[in-house]
Amino acid sequence: MAGNHLKRFYGARWSVNVVDPRAILNGVDLVLLEPNIVCVNQTESTNVLARVMVEGGLGEGLVAVADLQTQGRGRHDRKWHSPLGGLYFSIVLKPRIADEAAPLLGFLTACAIATEIREVLGLEISLKWPNDILVGERKLGGILSETVSTNGSLLAVIGVGINQNVKREDLPAELQDHTTTILSEIGRETSRETLISAIISGIDSRLVRVESDSSFRSILDEWVGHSSTIGRSVRVRDGSEIIEGLAIGIRPDVSLEVEDSDGQLKRVLIGD
């Protein structure tokens, strides 16, 4: 009954081959989150699916997982190629400290991803501002953070796309030189359930830290520790302006701080 309801309202399709929510729940170790996991075979976008379900009354802890996205999106509404075998999910979280902290939840999620891919799969990950997940110089995945208001409360919808059990040669030709996959890096297929369980647990443990500290400062420090951006020369577009210089830090509003050749500090909020 639930599956039919979701299919009708969310454009999702079910099959016997979807990620198993029971296997995900069996692997999590949680303090704060009470996950409500919905696994579908195909949907337009897990962020769209999660947003509609939040508008229908679900809240923090919702995790929408899909085998395939037909209209996966990245920043600036760019198409995110989402072939079968990848890990595509969105998790709904409360901002915790203040509504203005919602963008920091994407950085918190990125830290969990970087740590858990290393711990579970032995693959070293770096994070590129603002939302890329890298192996070396190649993109492994990305994060799309959005917000939705419901019943007077703001919730963050954090979408994650990771090229997991995907062959690099199956990606579009124009992406293959600067994109990679877990399968290509380690030479074998890996459990999506195990990885998403670890990531959800990693998100939960960091939320505990944020609540204990009443601050995201430790999350920003952790993100910088994983970063391939900080300490390097960058050239970023901020609206109509091109900013070049040395990336020196991340501000609490997740903007990038860049020191230009004249020693002036520039704040880049939405880079490209």
User: Given this model, what pLDDT does residue 239 score?
Assistant: 77
CB-neighbour burial class of residue 207 (10 A; exposed 0-12, middle 13-18, buried 19+)? buried
- Cα separation, 198 vs 163, whole angstroms: 16
Spell out the per-residue pLDDT of the chain, length 272, in tens: 233 334 433 455 544 457 899 999 999 989 999 999 999 999 999 999 999 999 999 999 999 999 999 876 655 566 667 888 999 999 999 998 899 999 999 999 999 999 999 999 999 999 999 999 999 999 999 999 999 998 889 999 999 999 999 999 888 888 889 999 999 999 999 999 999 999 999 999 999 999 999 999 999 999 999 999 999 999 998 878 889 999 999 999 999 999 999 999 999 987 55
- Cα separation, 34 vs 204, whole angstroms: 10
User: Given this model, what pLDDT does residue 160 score?
Assistant: 97
User: Given this model, what pLDDT does residue 1 score?
Assistant: 29
To the nearest 10 degrees (0 to 180), the angle between helices 46-55 and 2-10 is 110
User: Given this model, what pLDDT does residue 124 score?
Assistant: 98
Distances, alpha carbon 152 to alpha carbons 54, 95, 110, in Å: 13, 13, 27
Reading the block at residue 256, the tokens are 């990038």
Count of C-beta atoms within a 10 Å radius of residue 247: 22
Nearest to 28 by CA among 196, 192, 201: 201
User: Given this model, what pLDDT does residue 272 score?
Assistant: 52
> What are the residue ranges spanned by the domains of the chain?
2-226, 233-268
User: Given this model, what pLDDT does residue 71 score?
Assistant: 73
- Cα separation, 234 vs 65, whole angstroms: 34
CB-neighbour burial class of residue 164 (10 A; exposed 0-12, middle 13-18, buried 19+)? buried
CATH classification code of 2-226: 3.30.930.10
